[in-house]
Amino acid sequence: MNIIDIISKTKRSEELSDEEIKWLVNSYTSGETADYQMAAWLMAVCLNGLTERETVSLTLAMRDSGDILDLSCIDGVTVDKHSTGGVGDKTSLVIGPVAAACGIKVPKMSGRGLGHTGGTIDKLESISGFRTELPFADFAKIVNTTGFAIISQSGDLCPADKKMYALRNATSAVDSIPLICASIMSKKLALNADCLLLDVKCGSGAFMKTQEDAEKLARLMERVGRAAGKKCRAIVTDMDSPLGNNIGNALEVREAVELLQGKVKGPLYDTCIDLAANMLELAGKGTIEQCTAMAEEAVSSGAALDVLRRTIAMQGGDSSICDDVSLLPQAKFSHEIRASRDVRIVAVNSEEIGMASLMLGAGRTVKDGDIDATAGIVMACGVGDNISMHAPLMTLYSSVCSDFSEAAVRAVRALTFEDI
């Protein structure tokens, strides 16, 4: 077998064998296949797709490229959750503590930012001292103690995906249903939790722009998960508008903490409660109505915030941010955008808001690039809001960009107005 033949077959939409896919994954992981060769194959997949059998084979090969965790040392039912990514999606920082406060164990392995969407690991690393790379024994101890922990992909867990994930980001090979499925499910199956909830985002700020594509990805991931013997559920949630008001790493941690403090309601709160309730139901904690009530109580009682506080402390972070969010990193520069006339907000293009945030330094434009933890956007308006002339629309933040003109133009163009 050789990489040229494999690229050529996918370019011609010819189905690869299981052996060819396994060879491709292993040769790329070992370094035998170069980045530029794998990039060519990934682009061929983006253009021509893979069959369901090829997608299952790719997922399992990527899972088997490294270790598969043994979570038997964790007491109780383990439930993992994954989102396909969106703008302002900080739900993992909320629903992990909520579900843990309700009595299930949430061991989570997350990734870094990909394209215009933020990564949970980048967000957590904006907390001073927070360690996302931990030995497995320490990870399991934290989960057994607090019920919840998040770590980054180690070198031994899905190394094939770790390399491919960064390469896709740098070569515009992100928006492919088979590649998204294989990337997500290989990590989830390597983590090896008992139950798996998949949050498939749909809308302008998601990789899946249409309901049809979102449903296709959701069903594909469910079939892959169940084929691997997992209790798996995928639900489609809205990403036509940013999820919450804050976009950017430290800014999103701030909003997540404020939600757990009881200060944030609205669509972000509702989505988090719904996702947590589904996790609890998968784990056998009751009906969806009972699990919803449990999740709401975990927030209102402060139990979920306490889980987050203890988890941050055990992962080496400054847990005092749970009581004082001003201790999170602060941007050196800011720019407020105000309405030039009386308007109503008709729509918000989430992807464009995400791209504006990336321009400020909140995301990566090159493989393994640096990010500015303080950068991002805080929205002061949402769809349906009436905004008076000179009232704030949003504020841009950065510590690496002091000229906001280009990002401001892009951010404003993300809003659709009508005069009132």
Active site amino acids? 82, 161, 168, 183, 187
The C-alpha atoms of residue 220 and residue 222 are separated, in whole angstroms, by: 5
Question: Each residue of 334-370: b (16+ CB within 10 Å) or e?
Answer: ebebebeeebebeebbbbbbbbbbbbbbbbbeeeeee
**Contact in structure between 225 and 185 (CB atoms under 8 Å):** yes
Please report, as a single letter, which amino acid is at residue 294.
Answer: M
Length of the chain: 420
Helices marked H in 102-203 — which ranges?
120-124, 136-146, 159-170, 177-191
**Cα radius of gyration rounded to whole Å, the chain:** 21
Task: Indicate left, alpha or beta for 369 from its phi (over 0: left) and psi (-120 to 50: alpha).
Answer: beta
Token pair for residue 33?
Answer: 């296949």
**Contact in structure between 147 and 193 (CB atoms under 8 Å):** no
**Contact in structure between 377 and 247 (CB atoms under 8 Å):** yes
Pairing relationship of beta strands 79-83 and 231-238 according to DSSP bridges: unpaired
The C-alpha atoms of residue 321 and residue 251 are separated, in whole angstroms, by: 12
User: Can you name the residues that pair with 208 across neighbouring β-strands?
Assistant: 202
**Would you call 228 exposed, middle or buried from its count of C-beta atoms within 10 A (0-12, 13-18, 19+)?**
middle
**Contact in structure between 147 and 101 (CB atoms under 8 Å):** yes
3-state SS, 7-50, equals: HHHHHCCCCCCHHHHHHHHHHHHHCCCCHHHHHHHHHHHHHHCC
Helix 303-314 to helix 288-300 angle (10° resolution) is: 70
